[in-house]
Amino acid sequence: MSSRFEDRLKRDIDQIRSTVSKMGVWAEGALRASLLALTESDRQLAYSIILRDRYIDELEKEVDRLLRIFARYIYPRVPDVTLTLVGDGPEHEALQALAKELGVDHRTYFVGEQSLHEMPDWYRNADLFVYTSLSETYGQVVSEALWCGLPVVAMQDGMGVAGQVSDGDDGFLIDPKANDADEDFGRRVRLLLEKPALRAQMCANAVRNAKLRSDPEACVQRYLEVFEVAKDRARQNPARSSTRSYGILASWTALHAAYGALGALRKPSGMNRNEAPAGSWTLATA
């Protein structure tokens, strides 16, 4: 491995450490605010559930399924509940129309895409987080919600979401293929909304589990360990490593070029409809 590459690697690691550390500070602030909100007596007057996502494809993210569950199995039994959808995408108007068709548009809020810096305000005003997507390789928003002290009700996807939620401990995972999957999803949401003690316990569990899995320093250390393993393998077989690296680089270049060409053919979609700049995925306040 060249000294030039090692210097670049060190700079990248420092940047990763800085970013993750900032995320830790942000999340700690969100956590304190979230737990404070849950202890306020007026929180018992109405319940709020939240989804945060970029619902680029209604069918992929299954936001329409969530709206149907909310309309049929949650709202009729808990009439003071609200559903807040944070995110945006081409299906925005179609989902708003569906909410109106289902008769829950007055209890459903489409707030558009929000910046990462603003997300603590949204999390701390929610009682739990819901997620029906089955196509996530990870689902970063689930980790955000857990870290901020929100129990999660989600579909058992056998992938990223299921790897973050401990069923019965910090949330519930629903078998999406079961005949009563939607009804069970709604039942679990109602259980958490109607039992404050259970919800409070799962809030505490969510924070504990998220810290064990996503501690900023632990994440940085994992990056370092991976790079060290790569360095050792490169030293053991430099010729093969170089050849393979060039092959991988060529493959990725071709793949990204193809995606870029396809993107140029597709008309860009508006990602924010609340007359504000597109939400930022950084921690900058401006």
Give 207-216's long-range contacts (Cβ < 8 A, gap of 24+): 207/31, 207/35, 207/146, 207/147, 207/149, 208/170, 209/146, 209/166, 209/169, 209/170, 210/143, 210/146, 210/147, 210/170, 211/147, 213/143, 213/164, 214/143, 214/147, 215/24, 216/20, 216/21, 216/23, 216/24
* Cα angle: 60, vertex 66, 67; to 5 degrees: 115
| pTM of the predicted model as reported, rounded to 2 decimal places | 0.71
For residue 173, list its beta bridge partners.
154
Report the pLDDT value the prediction gives residue 257, as an integer from 0 to 100: 81
Report the pLDDT value the prediction gives residue 13, as an integer from 0 to 100: 61
Report the 10 Å Cβ neighbour count for 203.
23
Helix, strand or coil for residue 82?
A: strand
Measured distance CA(110)–CA(69) in Å, rounded: 17
Contact by Cβ (8 Å): 174, 184: yes
pLDDT along the chain (286 residues), means of 10: 59 60 51 38 51 55 92 95 88 92 95 82 89 85 90 92 94 96 97 94 95 80 82 75 66 78 60 55 49
Give the C-alpha distances (Å, rounded to integers) separating 81 from 25, 150, 154, 161.
31, 16, 18, 24
Measured distance CA(214)–CA(144) in Å, rounded: 10
Taking only the tens place, the pLDDT of each residue in 73-112 is 999 999 999 999 988 878 889 999 999 999 999 999 998 8
Q: What are the phi and psi torsion angles at 171 (to 5°)?
A: 165, -165
Taking only the tens place, the pLDDT of each residue in 217-233 is 777 788 788 878 878 88
Report the pLDDT value the prediction gives residue 209, as an integer from 0 to 100: 94
